[in-house]
Homo-oligomer: A and B are copies of this chain.
């Protein structure tokens, strides 16, 4: 019989603080700039959009930030998540490598996004905010924030990219079950949405447009509503570090340590949450590599430029120093909606720029081939985003087979794909385009 497959920490091992990588970065992060004045953006510039609790986290010099008890109480619903040894996948690949994954798919919304949605809802509630506005593409973020807002009794308006709204009715229903109001974007509810519909009545929408609508609504309702973002920003990656911290504790329990840490990367939140707690070890010269995996259809880190760019299409956001394909870049349609962002987290961008993290890109069909292999060996059906990480894991494990190296490979299973089965249908029937 095999050894224990799951390393499961007890609830007393949920981290009591988030890990803040900012003071440990090899060079300081450059500040966001005001799009007109090009001056660094201060807390007062961000205050209309975010509560002060989150703005402070965005620039905090502290290495650890206490997690409020009310947030930990909610984390207890699904945390600590299991660290799982992928024995069956190893066997199928005939690799001497050990493969481990953290299963963030066990949360009620099915992905890692709840780690920050709950925290963001908490800080907004604490500062008297009544309503949040956000955008969602594939729907993982919108679902997680709907759950977070329901727990803290906040109203939520979600602008869902119109093409996703039409293709993924289940995602909309999930958000509505948790009490959110969901509109296809562009919508009639904002000036931005109405203008864009006039210009192009048949537009399928985009994440850029949906972000602009959410911010537009917050500005309209100034004072009672705030904006919420599910990735990219420092405080979002901060909240996600519960993943990497729990993983480190679980590895310690079984006297293992990863040589490779892999995560898929869109805005960078699941990758950051997983990899950031290992950054100091990389700097210290430990035998460990951090790898970001992205789609070739939106190759921000592998083909983008490292420069200041806007975070959205309409220009509501500050200029951010990051790898970017240009804020007007429209990626071709793919099923990994969560990876279709023109830019990247400034923290992740800096790590890649400084050579502390690698980046690799894959095509859609090879990614789904990896996803099905994973489902057929380890059981869990991965989200299309997560499948990018799995493809990189498989390649690394195969290299180990060829070289005979018994490396320990760790990746974040950021979410399950039970609400993405239409994409599997396309793949299995041979109709999937290979973007």
Name the residue of chain B whose CB is nearest to the CB of A110.
B418
Name the contact of A376 in the complex, choosing from B78, B88, B179 (C-beta under 8 A).
Answer: B179
Could you tell me the distance between the alpha carbons of A73 and B428 in the complex, rounded to whole angstroms? 28
Interface-lining segment among A1-9, A257-265, A274-282, A356-364: A1-9
A108 within 8 Å of B (CB atoms)? yes
**C-beta contact mask, A1-40 vs B, less than 8 Å → 1, else 0?**
1101110101110000000000000000000000000000
Given contacts A372-B177, A381-B174, contact A11 B5 (CB under 8 A): yes
Name the residue of chain B whose CB is nearest to the CB of A77.
B379
Name the contact of A10 in the complex, choosing from B8, B12, B84 (C-beta under 8 A).
Answer: B8
A421 within 8 Å of B (CB atoms)? yes
A378 within 8 Å of B (CB atoms)? yes
B381:A421 contact, CB within 8 angstroms = no
Number of copies of this chain that the complex holds: 2
B147:A424 contact, CB within 8 angstroms = no
B177:A424 contact, CB within 8 angstroms = yes
Q: Would you list the 9 A-B pairs with minimal beta carbon distance, nearest first?
A: A108-B379, A5-B76, A173-B421, A170-B421, A1-B69, A4-B11, A173-B425, A108-B380, A418-B418
Q: 18 pairs across A/B with beta carbons < 8 Å?
A: A1-B72, A2-B76, A5-B77, A77-B84, A77-B379, A106-B106, A108-B380, A170-B170, A170-B418, A170-B422, A173-B422, A174-B418, A176-B424, A177-B372, A177-B375, A177-B424, A177-B428, A418-B418
Which residues does A use to contact B, with CB under 8 Å?
1-2, 4-6, 8, 10-12, 69, 72-73, 76-78, 84, 88, 106-110, 147, 150-151, 169-170, 173-174, 176-179, 372, 375-376, 378-381, 418-419, 421-422, 424-425, 428
| Sample of 14 more A-B contacts, CB < 8 Å, known A170-B170, A173-B425, A177-B372 | A1-B69, A5-B11, A8-B10, A8-B11, A107-B379, A108-B381, A150-B376, A173-B421, A173-B428, A176-B425, A177-B375, A177-B421, A177-B424, A178-B376
